[in-house]
Amino acid sequence: MAKITASVYTSHVPAIGAALDLGKSHEPYWQKVFAGYEFSKQWLKDHRPDVIFLVYNDHATAFSLEIIPTFAIGTAAEFAVADEGWGPRPVPKVIGHPVLASHIAQSVIQDDFDLTIVNKMDVDHGLTVPLSLMCGPVQAWPCPVIPFAVNVVQYPVPSGRRCFQLGQAIRRAVESYDEPLTVQIWGTGGMSHQLQGPRAGLINKEWDKRFLDRLIEDPTGLAQVPHIEYVREAGSEGIELVMWLIARGAMADVAGGRPPTVAHRFYHVPASNTAVGHLILENC
Ligand code: DHB
Ligand code: FE
């Protein structure tokens, strides 16, 4: 049986990718951001999973306004790094895990979550920046990655409650896979930020920190927060945080197991227009 060993949560700021790719990571502004991931890079080396199930959002890159899947699972053997307007990031292509991804699609869809199956998809900064933060510069990503794209760009977006329930279904799917794989689930995007309109630049440190507290201790209560609170308190792009509830819903305690251990917690403002939050939770 496969099992979920840990969940990782991190923001995905595109300027972080640019700082890395343009050799600016030693600059004081970026050092303060990357310092929060020093522990995490070693942790990932020490806890390398067989597969990463990476929940992220596409930013009108692979999907346009023509087709907007709410939840899309990448079942391909590999995924190219997207060109977001200035050429693809110089990072490795993503190797998928079509067999596990297909099993999860089968299980989760039969568990009443209507996923879109995607056999070809370029992956944007939403997926590659979290990998860069956790792995540093590498020739190849440390393991296969199943991309799982959530629509948080075009309304209507899924609720935190639905995302939390979906995480539970993903856990059931992983645990019904007939091979002893270790799987990490990553929830990415956020924290508070707004890129547009009169409130552009909004950051809400208190709300973000409370979100991290509740994600650890009270995920069921946190899952009840309506989308309008994310938008009001964490800004229009703060809604990306509902994706963290998918990863949290897949942890053991939600299914009656023991509470996770907090391996690492980090919060920093600013990085570009965004508050950066990062958490690693291990199943006991
Ligand atoms: C920024 C943050 C995002 O989440 C994003 O998708 C694009 C830009 C920013 O902080 O600039
Ligand atoms: Fe984003």
pLDDT for 12 equals: 97
Question: Which sequence spans correspond to the domains of the chain?
Answer: 3-256
Residue nearest to atom 1 of ligand 1 (CA): 13
- Please give the distance, rounded to the nearest whole angstrom, from the Cα atom of residue 284 to the centre of ligand 2: 31
Residue nearest to atom 5 of ligand 1 (CA): 13
pLDDT confidence of 97, banded at 50, 70, 90?
A: very high
Write b or e for each residue in 209-233: b if 16 or more Cβ atoms lie within 10 A of its Cβ, otherwise e. eebbebbbeebeebbebebeebbeb
The residue-averaged pLDDT of 254-279 equals 97
pLDDT for 178 equals: 97
Distance CA 279, CA 6 (A): 11
Atom of ligand 1 nearest to the CA of 15: 11
Q: Which residues contact 273 (CB under 8 A, 6 or more apart)?
A: 13, 193, 194, 195, 200, 201
Pocket test for ligand 1, best of 58, 192, 244, 274 (most atoms within 8 A of CB): 274
The residue-averaged pLDDT of 157-171 equals 98
pLDDT confidence of 191, banded at 50, 70, 90?
A: very high
The residue-averaged pLDDT of 160-168 equals 98
Task: Give me the active site residues, please.
Answer: 125, 193
Q: What is the DSSP letter of 80?
A: P
- Please give the distance, rounded to the nearest whole angstrom, from the Cα atom of residue 17 to the centre of ligand 2: 12
User: Which amino acid, residue 183?
Assistant: V
Q: Is 61 in the pocket of ligand 1 (CB under 6 A)?
A: no
Q: Is 15 in the pocket of ligand 1 (CB under 6 A)?
A: yes
Task: Using CB atoms within 10 Å of the CB of residue 171, give its burial: 0 to 12 exposed, 13 to 18 middle, 19+ buried.
Answer: buried
The residue-averaged pLDDT of 51-72 equals 97
Q: Is 59 in the pocket of ligand 1 (CB under 6 A)?
A: yes
Q: Tell me the percentage of the chain whose pLDDT exceeds 70.
A: 100
Chain segment 192-223, per-residue pLDDT in tens: 999 999 999 999 999 999 999 999 999 999 99
Helices (H), 176-235: 205-217, 219-222, 227-234
**H-run or E-run covering 32:** helix 28-34
3-256: CATH topology is Protocatechuate 4,5-dioxygenase; Chain B (3.40.830)
Q: Is 280 in the pocket of ligand 1 (CB under 6 A)?
A: no
Chain segment 104-151, per-residue pLDDT in tens: 999 999 999 999 999 999 999 999 999 999 999 999 999 999 999 999
Atom of ligand 1 nearest to the CA of 125: 6
Q: Is 274 in the pocket of ligand 1 (CB under 6 A)?
A: yes
Atom of ligand 1 nearest to the CA of 271: 10
pLDDT confidence of 254, banded at 50, 70, 90?
A: very high
Chain segment 177-188, per-residue pLDDT in tens: 999 999 999 999
